[in-house]
Structure 1
Amino acid sequence: MSLSSPLEGIRVVEFASFVAGPSAGRALAQLGAEVIRVDPLGGAADRHRWPLSARTGESLYWTSLNRGKRSVALDLRSEAGRDLLLDLATAPGPDAGIIVDNAVGRQWLRYEALAARRPDVISVKVQGRADGGPAVDYTVNSASGIAALTGPEDSAAPVNHVLPAWDLLCGQEVVSAVLAALRRRDRTGAGAQIEIALDDVAAAAVADLGWYSEAAERGQRARHGNHLYGAFGVDFASADGDRVMVVVLTPRQWSALTTATGTAESLAALAESAGADFSTDEGRYAHRHRIAEVLTPWFSERSTAQVHAELTAAGVLWGPYRSIAEVAADFAESPETAPVLVSLAQPGIGQVISASSSVRIDGAYSGAVPAVELGRDTEAVLADVLGMGGSEIERLRADGVI
């Protein structure tokens, strides 16, 4: 087993679409697991999800989330196709018998059906809501209360985020659940029925930040726009019109910012007149707008290059604002600036920007491999995992099962 592929030898069957389940499978594959994605013939509902390649029309989304997996396509409307999926999910082996799915309501794939074939099966099912109701990241986010905190200070309209954060977080919860259940099975021999609801992932995360408790005590928090809540942090525009985000979380960072901008005396005078203590998060947060007014001229009088250089030299905690297109262009020009990203030849599309696992093992990134064509590995997987012979596979093909 390679140290850089700690999950080598583990086999996971993934029968899931969209983001949560597939992102979990991708993460497991990047750590060395054999992940077999099973789709219906022609692909699942996410097969052609945007964004699409302008060159070929193929889904950049689908190929990105399914890199490094083996692909099997079955007629899952037929009993024979369903039996094959169940067989793959419960195939023997100490590191097999693991399935991740989001097939809520499909009785033929319920835990009892899996456990009847392999009692120690590990089944991880991604749900929308814990009661079995439907939900996706965007409906969960609106219901969680986050959209009511997002957006300009002077707006009352809810603002949805673009990033499917709850899906991605749910995917990592799935990874943790798979590894925890596998560890328990290795120690005790017991299988596991695990259910993870996207709605629960969001609610638990917000609660763990203390935000629901705060609302229960203080009422609804006001919107803050780009201001950091509870400390000092906000964006400033340079003379070129570019913006940077500046954050202060420690006394050293506050000293660095006031020194870099030459505003230490002005801000000390402001603190004295306001009867505030700017050495604390609370003091800086309470007077964030007035502090920003003092700092703004320094940024607006300097070019973007000057702002970047002087903040960096002073040890200020800051970051630039970049568009997605700018990040892609920067990577094309200087790949070393984003070492987790990888330029990859994706069959059916061409050169794309992919990524290694963000987990570096022994100082090394995992690298990336392309997604294979839908269903390309069907015959090989049936032979490798289920031991099927050529005549049996040919009969399945003739029957339209594969």
Structure 2
Amino acid sequence: MGPLDGIKVIELGQLIAGPYCGQVMADFGAEVIKIEPPGAGDPMRQWGRTDRDGDPVWFSVIARGKRSVTLNLRDPDGQQVLRDLVRDADVLIENFRPGTMERWGLGYDALSAINPRLIMARVSGYGQDGPYSKRAGFASVCEAAGGLRYISGYPDRPPVRVGLSLGDTMAGFNAAMGILLALQHRHATGRGQVVDSAIFEAVLGYTESMVAEYDAGGHIRERFGSALPGIAPSNAYAAADGREVIIGANGDGVFARLCEVMGRPELARDDRFADHQARGRNQQVLDVLVGEWTRTVPAQEIVDRLAEAGVPVGLAYTAADMLEDAHFEARQSVVRVPDPKRGTLAMQNVFPRLSDSPGAVRALGPELGADTDDVLSRRLGYDTDRIAGLRERGVI
């Protein structure tokens, strides 16, 4: 039994941000009914790299543990089905452009009149109000608005992106956290509310002291490549075998241990590197010295020696490295989920871990509409003729 067992969630989201919120809820035990357009379904069913037979696999991850119901929300009958579903729901997740739900007569005012306990999580690029609220907001542009893109990459090149839709996932996680906070508030008041999770604000929330530094001192943080300005040594360094090793030895004691392993204990006493501020001022020189050493030692040997000495170190892992790593295996950080097509499918486990009521991956993403009849008959009490009529008219 997960900590959200008994919580009923309706997911209207598509692509990444809203569905990732639903993934988190399902991972921790909520019943998540994913509403998809009849015929095509969520575009995520076609996104991402394919398996060896040419079938995409991303949907299997982001829709894991959910149920799929097809429903045309542009049709008045489909809108009525959703209203019926809302009557006993705890949460509704949507990530349409702001105003879309209202045009369909499905805004929060309308739905909360049906169910005052309903929590509505609304995920969008720029939030539900403000001058930019109606703009389309994919993660790429919202990461830029939130400040992440400007500081990502090298100073002599255009900004780069992380190889993930990071803003979408961050906004989805923010929405999940907001739902949990709203559930706690509902325990005390009996009332639901709106959770407004904007992608640009999800990114902005992770920018540490960047705004305050500008406000207080006029400092604009710039791109600095694979390190952070003034934090040294903390970078990616090439090893003798061509692999890259990440070393973070910017604390005084840790730096001294690194110097011992390098065979250069005198560097810890050098005035240029004697403390945090000094190492920051001489960051480039220090990175050169560390890099000269790492290029003489194979990557795994660097990791083994530094880890033994208590210096933070690691390789830049690929998915292949993760599947072969003993620590990942011991903690079951990656799990294999039964898959009728492939036997099993490996994917990341559920995080964070709870000692008494942990989450779990219960099943892969469902086939389109796999649960439509069951949900409409068992949960809403629709008879077979009514369901058949809805299907004939293209509502489900």
Q: TM-score, normalised by structure 1?
A: 0.88
How many residue pairs get matched? 384
Once the two structures are superposed, what CA deviation does each residue of 1:334-367 show, in whole Å capped at 9, x if it has no partner?
A: 9616622112233455532222211222278644
- Counterpart of 2:10 in 1: which secondary structure? strand
CA distance in 2, matches of 1:363, 1:194: 28
CA distance in 2, matches of 1:322, 1:105: 42
CA distance in 2, matches of 1:316, 1:46: 44
Q: Give the residue type in structure 2 aligned to 1:224.
A: F
Structure 2 residue runs of 5 or longer lacking an equivalent are 128-132
Answer yes or no: is 1:297 the counterpart of 2:272: no
Report deviation, 1:122: 1.5
CA distance in 2, matches of 1:149, 1:198: 17
1:15-54 superposed matches below 5 A: 15-54=12-51
CA distance in 1, matches of 2:296, 2:373: 66
Once the two structures are superposed, what CA deviation does each residue of 1:91-130 show, in whole Å capped at 9, x if it has no partner?
A: 23xxx33201112322222112212322332111112213
Report deviation, 1:277: 5.6
- The answer as to whether partners of 1:38 and 1:85 remain within 8 angstroms in 2 is no
1:154-173 superposed matches below 5 A: 155-173=156-174
- The answer as to whether partners of 1:355 and 1:367 remain within 8 angstroms in 2 is no
CA distance in 2, matches of 1:47, 1:349: 19
Q: Give the residue type in structure 2 aligned to 1:341.
A: V
Structure 1 match to 2:130:
none
1:392 to 375, 382, 386: 386
Task: State, as a whole percentage, how many aligned pairs show the same letter.
Answer: 27
1:91 to 87, 105, 118: 87
1:327-342 superposed matches below 5 A: 327-328=322-323, 330=324, 336=329, 339-342=332-335
Q: Give the residue type in structure 2 aligned to 1:278.
A: A
- Counterpart of 1:322 in 2: which secondary structure? coil
1:2-401 superposed matches below 5 A: 2=1, 5-88=2-85, 90-92=86-88, 96-103=89-96, 104-106=98-100, 107-108=103-104, 109-130=106-127, 131-153=133-155, 155-206=156-207, 209-216=208-215, 217-232=217-232, 233-269=234-270, 271=271, 276=272, 278-279=274-275, 281-328=276-323, 330=324, 336=329, 339-348=332-341, 351-362=344-355, 366-368=359-361, 369-401=363-395
CA distance in 2, matches of 1:363, 1:241: 44
Report deviation, 1:59: 2.5
Structure 1 residues 401 and 364: CA distance shift in structure 2, 3 A = closer
Structure 1 residues 55 and 293: CA distance shift in structure 2, 3 A = closer
Q: TM-score, normalised by structure 2?
A: 0.89
- The answer as to whether partners of 2:273 and 2:282 remain within 8 angstroms in 1 is no
- Counterpart of 1:123 in 2: which secondary structure? strand
Structure 1 residues 337 and 237: CA distance shift in structure 2, 3 A = farther
- Counterpart of 1:147 in 2: which secondary structure? coil
Q: Give the residue type in structure 2 aligned to 1:390.
A: T
Structure 1 residues 219 and 359: CA distance shift in structure 2, 3 A = closer
Structure 1 residue runs of 5 or longer lacking an equivalent are none
Moved more, 319-328 or 303-312: 319-328
